[in-house]
Amino acid sequence: MSFSVVIPARFAATRLPGKPLLDIAGKPMLQRTYEQALASRADRVVIATDDERIEEVAQGFGATVCMTKSSHVSGTDRIQEVSCQLGMSESDLVVNVQADEPLIPPSVINQVADNLKQDSEVGIATLCETITSQEEIVDSNSVKVVFDHRCHALYFSRATIPWQGSASAKNCYRHIGIYAYRVAVLNQFVEWPVCELEVTEKLEQLRALYNGVGIHVAVSSESIPPGVDTERDLELVRAHLKASKA
């Protein structure tokens, strides 16, 4: 079974306006993310945006672009619109890769798609990593996840879960925001109202759990470099690429 990658890209960003188009070692961030996705086994890679500036740049480096509504409140809504535009069937698989992940390994894109293909009991698949810092365990900006013996998510939280999670015990996992979806679930997701847990935690994936959709969670097969949320993140990525070419 094949899969598609959709990269939602917004121009507006509070901390880094125009973030997808910021230069990283001679290429826009969006292009670097796109090229990483192209190196996966995806049948197609599509950039989804509502901004003509992003459309122009993306078409300039040869990407397929779907223009979407500007009213979407999340990348999931944008991806669902793209799946409709492309005439995907409900059984098709779509991987959501964030535009600010210019160093994302192609292998983890394949991993999350494969995990969804192989588990018929779930409608979504995602990844996690073991947290190795006690400071991060208590950091509300780091989203934690717990899952059962089948690798099905039990809960996601900004709180420390499990209680008294320990870096030394390696029993606390950071959620990584890459998702594979069955299109049937995307179509349901955009029809469900926002649930109270989602609002409380500010975590969209809780809407799926609340409505009974299973989410497969696996430890990432490869370490995933941080995405770009701040100016400091941007400089770190630039330095990484510069060093890798030295």
This model's pTM is above 0.75: yes
Helices within the chain (DSSP H only): 29-38, 52-60, 75-85, 106-118, 134-137, 183-189, 196-201, 205-210, 231-244
- The residues with which 176 forms a beta bridge, in sequence order, are 127
Q: Report the range out of 69-83, 105-119, 133-147 with the highest average pLDDT.
A: 105-119
Residue 230 covered by a domain: no
* 180, 93 Cβ separation under 8 angstroms: yes
pLDDT over 90 percentage in the chain:
78
Instruction: Specify whether 140 is located in the same domain as 218.
Output: yes
Q: Based on the fold, state whether residues 110 and 22 are members of the same structural domain.
A: no
pLDDT number for residue 244: 76
* pLDDT tens string 144-185: 999 999 999 999 999 999 998 888 888 999 999 999 999 999
- With a cut of 80, say whether residue 15 has pLDDT above it: no
* In a shared domain, residues 95 and 146: no
The CATH number given to whatever domain includes residue 19 is 3.90.550.10
Q: Out of 77, 102, 127, pick the residue that ends a domain.
A: 102
Instruction: Report the pLDDT value the prediction gives residue 164, as an integer from 0 to 100.
Output: 87
Q: Are residues 202 and 130 located together in one domain of the fold?
A: yes
Number of structural domains found in the chain: 2
Percentage of residues of the chain with pLDDT beyond 70: 98
In a domain, 136, yes or no: yes
Q: Say what the pLDDT of residue 231 is.
A: 87
Enclosing domain of residue 28: 1-102
CB atoms within 10 A of CB 208: 24
Q: Is residue 246 part of a domain?
A: no
Could you give the CA distance from residue 196 to residue 209 in angstroms, rounded to a whole number? 12
Query: Rounded to whole angstroms, how far apart are CA atoms 121 and 108?
Result: 21
The per-residue pLDDT for range 78-110, each reduced to its tens digit, is 999 999 999 999 999 999 999 999 999 999 999
